Amino acid sequence: MSTLDDKGREYDERPWGNYLVLDDDAADHKVKRITVAPGKRLSYQSHAKRAEHWFVVSGTANVTLDDVDHEVVEGHSINIPLGTKHRVENVGADELVFIEVQFGTYFGEDDIVRYEDDYGRS
């Protein structure tokens, strides 16, 4: 369950790390700062109502898009088109931090279809 940080922004701890919502005021996009612990990964998932763009701030990400792996290093980014199966894994020894820009028509956490999950949520 998400909480609010000291600035009133949505924050949530997850088994893989955490996220902080940086901007959720517009109807057409949402921005999050996501931190993934070393050796952890998010579920393999897709979204019906949003696409995403990930910019890696620090660390190295292994991003899987429709069963194809892509290495994304600090200072680089990757697009996740609407409906694409995707996951990110922290393959480094330090935290992976990236900025996620969601764009589409709906940004709720219930717009997630999970195909695989290390934490029993699929």
What CATH number does the domain containing 93 carry? 2.60.120.10
Domain assignment of residue 51, yes or no: yes
pLDDT, tens digit (0-9, with 9 covering 90-100), for 24-73: 999 999 999 999 999 999 999 999 999 999 999 999 999 999 999 999 99
Residue 79 sits in which domain range?
Answer: 3-116
Domain assignment of residue 9, yes or no: yes
Residue 122 has pLDDT above 80, yes or no: no
DSSP one-letter string for 64-107: EETTEEEEEETT-EEEE-TT--EEEEE-SSS-EEEEEEEEES--
Q: What are phi and psi of 81, to 5 degrees?
A: -65, 155
Q: How many Å apart are CA 84 and CA 62, to the nearest integer?
A: 16
Q: How many Å apart are CA 11 and CA 99, to the nearest integer?
A: 14
Write down the pTM of the prediction. 0.94
Find where tokens 């393959």 sit: 91
Q: What are phi and psi of 28, to 5 degrees?
A: -110, 0
pLDDT, tens digit (0-9, with 9 covering 90-100), for 82-108: 999 999 999 999 999 999 999 999 999
Domain assignment of residue 85, yes or no: yes
Residue 4: pLDDT band (50, 70, 90) is: confident
Domain assignment of residue 90, yes or no: yes
**Cα–Cα distances in angstroms (integers) from residue 50 to residues 3, 27, 68, 88, 107, in the given order:** 23, 12, 20, 17, 7
Residue 6: pLDDT band (50, 70, 90) is: confident
Domain assignment of residue 122, yes or no: no
State the total domains in the chain.
1
